[in-house]
Amino acid sequence: METIATDVLATMRRRASCRRFTDQDVPPGLLDEIINAGLRAPTSFSLQPYALIVVREQRRRAALARVANGQAHVESAPVFVVVCVDLPRVERLTGLHGQLGRGRHDDALLNSVIDASLVGMCLSLAADSLGLGSVMVGAIRNDARRVSQILRLPDGVYPLFGVCLGWPARPVAAQPRQGGPALVHHERYHPPDVGVEAGLSLPDGTPAGSADVDHWRRQVRSGGQKLRSSRPVPWHPDNLAPLPSDDGDHDVPHHRSTGHHAVH
């Protein structure tokens, strides 16, 4: 027990996002182990309201990389796991057919996002503990509709982020983190102007947050990506979106689009 706890802590202390990968593949058995570790994450009402799409095909990874501003690691990592909220699954399990999304039952949506995020974190940590590298990629939400086409996501299955998995081409170093009173409050919230440091910079004096904060600010102001609402989903393969022909994808059947992908 002692050893396991130490291993987990050691992995967490040294973890860092990895964006350079070797060409070496991730063996299926190892990937299964990582995914299964992710699925050990706690889940509200045991619903597991998510879908994981494991993408290994180079062309599909390239198409997803294009959605994510051309981030090279999405294509260079041999495995890209797209973590999605699966509202139709929740509807099936709860009998709430067609009632999720559309501004109703927002707590179900929040639960689903939380649960799916925990899976992503757990599988990412499992990969790190096995010596693989990983990085989450939220930029696939730049164009969630396009991601839905590439992955044939039905209506109500929404891609949250992807996780690149592969063997690190070079070591990664843990980034500094803010800590202490700027983030951790005891007993009640303490506003920064009553004696707690505002926490706008890291311990080494550099500003907190990434250089891309401007981009984030613009996205928030423009309303960001809208979640496609979940209409009642008739479960039929015809409801899967076609993969546009520019991907040259012939190994999976193309299905007729029923217009279920409209953004609301």
Q: Which residues of this chain interact with ligand FMN, rule CB under 6 A?
A: 16-17, 19, 68, 71, 135-139, 161, 175, 210
Phi/psi class of residue 102: alpha, beta or left (left: φ > 0; alpha: ψ in -120 to 50)?
Answer: left
Give me the amino acid identity at 87.
L
Encoding tokens for residue 187?
Answer: 């007993």
Task: CB nearer to ligand FMN: give 102 or 170.
Answer: 170
d(CA 91, CA 100): 7
| C-beta closer to ligand FMN: residue 6 or 210 | 210
Smallest distance, ligand FMN to C-beta of residue 223, A = 18
Nearer to ligand FMN, 100 or 125 (CB): 125
Least distance from ligand FMN to the Cβ atom of residue 176, Å? 9
Stated as kind and residue range, the H or E segment containing 120 is helix 106-129
**Which residue sits closest to ligand FMN, CB atoms considered?**
138
**Rounded alpha-carbon distances, angstroms, from residue 166 to 21, 70, 132:** 6, 18, 6
Angstrom distance (rounded) from CA 99 to CA 232: 7
Shortest CB 205 distance to ligand FMN, Å: 18
CB 225, min distance to ligand FMN, A: 13
Shortest Å distance, C-beta 200 to ligand FMN: 17
CB 74 to ligand FMN: min, Å: 8
Exposure of 28 by Cβ count < 10 A (0-12 exposed, 13-18 middle, 19+ buried)? exposed
Nearer to ligand FMN, 44 or 117 (CB): 117
CB burial string 54-80: b at 16+ within 10 A, e below:
ebeeeebbebbbbbbeebebbbbbbbb
71 vs 149, beta carbon nearer ligand FMN: 71
Whichever of 31 and 136 has its CB closer to ligand FMN, that residue is 136
